Chain A
Amino acid sequence: GAVVSQHPSWVICKSGTSVKIECRSLDFQATTMFWYRQFPKQSLMLMATSNEGSKATYEQGVEKDKFLINHASLTLSTLTVTSAHPEDSSFYICSASTGKGGYTFGSGTRLTVV
Chain B
Amino acid sequence: GEDVEQSLFLSVREGDSSVINCTYTDSSSTYLYWYKQEPGAGLQLLTYIFSNMDMKQDQRLTVLLNKKDKHLSLRIADTQTGDSAIYFCAETPGSSSASKIIFGSGTRLSIRP
Contact = CB atoms under 8 A, between A and B. Distances in A.
Interface in A25-69: 31-32, 34, 42-44, 46, 49
Interface string A78-114: 0000000000000001010101111111111010000
Interface residues of B, number: 23
Interface in B59-101: 88, 92, 97-98, 100-101
Interface residues of A, number: 23
B105 A31 contact: no
Contacts of B24: none
B97 A100 contact: yes
Given A46-B101, A95-B43, A105-B42, 13 more contacts: A32-B98, A43-B106, A44-B43, A46-B102, A93-B43, A97-B98, A101-B30, A101-B50, A103-B45, A104-B45, A105-B44, A106-B42, A107-B42
